[in-house]
Structure 1
Amino acid sequence: MRPTPEERSLHKEKIMDYLNFDRKGPKRHCNKTLTSDGKKFSVHDCILGAASDYFKTMFSVEMKEKYDEVVSVKNVPPERLENVLEFIYSGDIEVTEENMLEVLEDSEYTQIEGLKSFCNRFILQVVSADNCLKLRAYAQRYNLGDVLDKTDQSIKENFASVMKHKDFMQLDVGDMTNIIKQRNKDQEEAVFTGIVQWINYNPSQREELFVNLFSQIDLSSMSSGFLAEVSTESLVRSNLVCANMLVDNLVKSSRQPTAGRSPLSEPASSQSNIAAPHEIKEEFVVVGGDGSDRDCVKYDVTTKQHQHLPKLNKPRCYFTSVKVGDKLYAFGGHDKAAIKSCEMLSLATNGRWKMLGKMLEARCNHASAVIGNNIYVTGGKNNNDNYLSSCEVYNLNRNKWSRIHGMIKKRAAHGMCSIRNSLYCVGGRSDKSCEHLDVRSGKWNLIPPMNHEATDGLSCVTLNGKIYVTGGWSSSSRHECYDPAARKCTTLSPLNTGRAYHGACVMNGKIYVVGGWGSGIEILSSVEVYDPTENSWTHLFDLEKPVWNHTLVALYTTVDDNGHQ
């Protein structure tokens, strides 16, 4: 005879009740103390390890915390830590609409699957048109597949009202594209309005994306009155591609009139002056580099032709650069020593590079990424050859640098990119770890490491919400992809030519890598391109000369058949 399931359950409950009482009261059997913002919590490490993979790792592998009696939990405030501990010991917790995202974050941080599953079930019950965009972002970040499905359905059914929320304006282009693809086809007019509002929220960074979003709209389903409004929109009128699409639709409408809708009053032939035949010109710019430290050269990937742009004011290698709108920015680097100086080139005028406010700290081998009107810079090395964990942010509107919370790890020659409101730092010299910062909360968290060994001189880019990492000093042919939603890293087809300290960028859904130090004792001039639909690399052409320790920035230019931009 054996105890019944009810008796066994009661036995377990009695033990846990006693241990929960012990941690709150006499503490006779507690062997660890957790601290958060000065508040102390007595615990039993075996109980925490049984419930949480985070604590299991902390107390079982050779980490400092395994031997410390007092352990600091930095990223969970004390009142939230108490809720987590109560769930671990009793299985009880109160989740509300007000605290559900905090509980979800804590469950992810402490790696308690039972708590995360409970949050998932609660969130499914409260998805609405008012919160679906915000919850969708959390569903992607924490890999909540059923929540993602439900939020997508809510967006699809309520697009006109969803686009009025402030969260809509914070979407990145990947999410914006996915949401547009999921719409009901009777919402084209609302979709156009939403796209225009989204572009105008941050025109300096988004205006060049308009043509790709506009091309996904079915103009033929719009009323003639609304098409007249579309024809007056400056984003359409100033873009040859979009204007041509509108004209093409008007031509089709004039040939196949539909009841209740007529083309605009003028025939297509008289409107042909709106736009001439066009194409999208795919170009990138190679900036600086060892031996080319003031050069700035633009390459057309179709014609393989190049054009020299104005030279940098300061020689730069081991630096970083970004493009925001029609402006190129270059930050720091090495010119006999690590430097603080920064400069900007307007691509619209192609005048001289203009010096900007200096960084707060001299850096080389650092990394950068853009979110909104802010450019973030992380890590690197200083003039004492020390690796840095410090970070700072440059506000484009104020031309001013400010410090932000430093990384968990010191990093140099690492990769960095942004997705939505998050920064991701990848690898670096002697470290394969990766970490993530939500700029709204200011908290850095470690995320799963790369598959390949630690390496410096790698490059990383984002494509369709995923992070692609290429090359590096000790893994020069490596190519892997990290999915933030699934928290999983996948090894992909290797580079044709191994390289480190190269440049990488994304254009038209493909990844380009340029130059770098080859796996032999050589500097590379080769350009190769990766097609994610084929998982294959193709050699494209060679630069005018080899280059490494440079930066690479993608450009998008619309031209007509006469070559006019």
Structure 2
Amino acid sequence: MRPTPKERSLHKEKIMDYLNFDRKGPKRHCNKTLTSDGKNFSVHDCILGAASDYFKTMFSVEMKEKYDEVVCVKNVPPKRLENVLEFIYSGDIDVTEENMLEVLEDSEYTQIEGLKSFCNQFILQVVNADNCLKLRAYAKRYNLDDVLDKTDQSIKENLASVMKHKDFMQLEVDDMTIIIKQRNKDQEEAVFTGIVQWVNYNPSQREELFVNLFSQIDISSMSSGFLAKVAYENLVRSNLVCSNMLVDNLIKSFRQLTAETGAELLVIGGEGSEKDCVVYNVNTKELKYLPELSTKRVGATSVKVGRKVYVAGGAENSDAVAYNTCEMFDLNEQTKWNSLPCMGECREFCGSGLIGDSLYCIGGFDGTIHSASCERYDARSDVWNEIAPLNQARSGLACVVLDGNIYAIGGLDNKYLSTVECYEPRADKWRFVASLSKELNRSFSCVVGNKIYVVGGEMNDESISKSVEVYDPTSDEWTTAFELQNPALDATVVVI
């Protein structure tokens, strides 16, 4: 019969408890004294050697300390040395956010892997946007690979706020380059702002590094408004290489816009094809199917921001309860639809428009009443806010943006509407403009060549329209452009 593992563990614990008591009290068996800043600690060299490679080497090779009864520990202050000794003898130590880096340094200095591992696990639990840069530096210094991964992930997820932290300004250029390479695709504007701040923090030594950092940014993903700020930045304007990069990108973007604008239509959802997303090329007449919506949508509304398409509201079918959910599709990646924050109100058959980086949702039907309420989604802050209501409640309206104004076209308010309203964002006010030639509900619209095209819809006699009407804002008049081969109802369309 042999002792159980538990019995053996209790035996070892009893011995260590006695030796820990001995070093603190009687000191009958201690054979070494450690000293730090004038404070002495009685110890057993065999115990220290068993726990610490630092002390094992010190007490086993032909060094002066092997034979000295009193050994000076220069790099660990008394209080911290006492904590290290307590861990060696009992396995116990109190690691906090305030002392974790000191404990890490002491574990590395004394070469106690168990203490270093424990400290590593604690640091993993406290990594956040405020300390990730500092902890990343320690992770590199002490080879904490999992902490390095965790801090890199935190930096990636919180890049905009991290770049405002004082620790960011102390980074070396190599670390800056690594952080830039790890960024998300939608963080180019934040990265540019951070690079400028970092260079200006120490311009005499860092200005020459700006070109290389600037070249790693994808300028094409920036908004037109932000590109204007880039163009006026002194670090860009004063450097011929950076200026040429900016000009080349603008020319490329202009050519791409010229080639693509109006060439394709993306038709999203609608009755009979509730989750379908189909691209129709106007020039080649070809169809291409994109990944399906994550939710069936009839009577939804959509806009395009850069290379991203946003869809808001709608319902599973024309008799279902309206949604307040929204989703986004990246035309570059073309992998799946992603969820966005919900609107303040549930809306189906509402209108939408895009001004700057803000998505506007106009009117709609909440399942009970036709609504005049309107709200705006700021893509930068990821928040919805209420704006001025329509003069006339309407759902099933068509909605577009032209010359910085939003047009709410036709719809239904207990009767079919031909009226059209124009919203001026600066005044936060709606006004009536010329009406359609006929009442239309649940039509869809887009802008091509500075004119508004309204397609299909349900007419006053409940028949479905094949016609396409065109509005010219310079003359404030509507005309009929052509007719479709088949009637169209409850789809949504954007020019891509």
Bucket of the pairwise TM-score, normalised by the shorter protein: 0.5 to 0.7
The one-letter amino acid paired with 2:182 is: Q
Residues of 1 paired with 2:48 and 2:93: CA distance?
16
Equivalence for 1:192: 192
Alignment match, 1:162: 162
**Cα distance per residue 1:204-237 (max 9 Å; x no partner):** 1111110110000000000011000000111111
- Specify the SS of the correspondent of 2:130: coil
SS in 2 for 1:71: strand
Letter matched to residue 251 of structure 2: V
List aligned pairs for 1:525-536, cutoff 5 A.
none
1:139-162 Cα offsets, whole Å, 9 max, x none, are 000000110001100000000011
1:232 is matched by which residue type in structure 2? Y
Identical-residue share of aligned pairs (%): 90
Correspondences of 1:119-138 after superposition (within 5 Å): 119-138=119-138
Q: What is the DSSP-based 3-state SS (H/G/I as helix, E as strand, rest coil) of the residue aligned with 1:34?
A: strand
Match of 1:207 in 2: 207
Task: Give the deviation of 1:260 after TM superposition.
Answer: 5.4
The equivalences for 1:38-117 within 5 A come to 38-117=38-117
CA contact (8 A) 1:132 1:154 kept: yes
Q: Hey, what does 2:242 align to over in structure 1?
A: 242
Distance 1:98 1:71 in 2: 29
- Report the equivalent of 2:278: none
Q: Distance in 1 between matches of 2:139 and 2:101?
A: 10
How many angstroms apart in 1 are the aligned matches of 2:128 and 2:98? 15
Query: In 1, Cα distance between the equivalents of 2:104 and 2:151?
Result: 16
Q: Provide the C-alpha distance between the structure 1 equivalents of 2:186 and 2:144, rounded to a whole number of angstroms.
A: 29
Deviations 1:175-215 (A, max 9, x none): 11001100001000000000000001111111111011000
Amino acid paired to 2:84: V
Alignment-mate amino acid for residue 92 of structure 1: D
Three-state SS of the structure 2 residue aligned to 1:30 is coil
User: 2: CA distance between counterparts of 1:64 and 1:127?
Assistant: 42
CA apart distance, 1:238? 1.0
Quote the residue 1:312 is aligned against.
none
Q: How far has the Cα of 1:240 moved from its partner? A: 1.3
Query: Contact conserved, 1:129 with 1:154, CA < 8 A, in 2?
Result: yes
The whole-number CA distance in structure 2 between the counterparts of 1:205 and 1:47 is: 51
**CA offset at residue 261 of structure 1?**
6.3
Q: In structure 2, the residue corresponding to 1:33 is in which secondary structure?
A: strand
- SS of the aligned residue for 2:128 comes to coil
Compute the displacement of 1:239 (Å): 1.1
What residue ranges of structure 2 are gaps of 5+ in the alignment? 262-303, 308-496
Secondary structure of the residue that 2:42 maps to in structure 1?
strand
TM-aligned CA distance change 1:65 to 1:152, over 3 Å: same
1:256-293 CA-to-partner distances (Å, cap 9, x unmatched) read 1276569xxxxxxxxxxxxxxxxxxxxxxxxxxxxxxx
TM-score, normalised on structure 1? 0.46
Secondary structure of the 1:55 match is helix
Q: 1:416-565 maps to which residues of 2 (within 5 A)?
A: none
Q: Is the partner of 1:75 in helix, strand or coil? A: coil
Q: Within 1, Cα distance between the matches of 2:170 and 2:305? A: 37
Q: Return the offset for 1:19.
A: 0.3
Paired amino acid for 1:226 = F
- Checking the alignment, whether the CA contact within 8 Å between 1:35 and 1:72 is kept in structure 2 is yes
Q: Shift of residue 254 of structure 1?
A: 1.3
Alignment correspondent of 2:483: none
| Partner of residue 422, structure 1 | none
Say which structure, 1 or 2, has more relative contact order (CA 8 Å, 6+ apart). Answer: 1
Cα RMSD (Å) of the superposition? Answer: 1.2
What is the identity, as a one-letter code, of the residue corresponding to 1:171? Answer: L
> Is the partner of 2:35 in helix, strand or coil?
strand
Q: Which runs of 4+ in 1 moved over 3 A?
A: 258-262
Paired with 1:216 and 1:174, the residues of 2 have a C-alpha distance of 13
Q: How many pairs are equivalent?
A: 262
| Amino acid in the other structure paired with 1:64 | K
Distance in 1 (CA, whole Å) between partners of 2:208 and 2:49 is 50
Distance change in 2, residues 1:74/1:260 (3 Å): same
* Alignment partner, residue 18 of structure 1: 18
Distance in 2 separating the partners of 1:176 and 1:63: 43
Is the 1:224–1:261 contact (alpha carbons within 8 Å) kept by the matching residues of 2? no
Distance in 2 between residues matched to 1:22 and 1:261, nearest whole Å: 73
Q: Which runs of 5+ in 1 are unaligned?
A: 263-565
Superposed, 1:244-393 pairs within 5 Å as 244-257=244-257
In the aligned structure 2, how far is the partner of 1:16 from the partner of 1:58? 22
Matches within 5 A, 1:131-150: 131-150=131-150
The alignment partner of 1:175 has SS state of helix
Q: Give TM-score scaled by structure 2 length.
A: 0.52
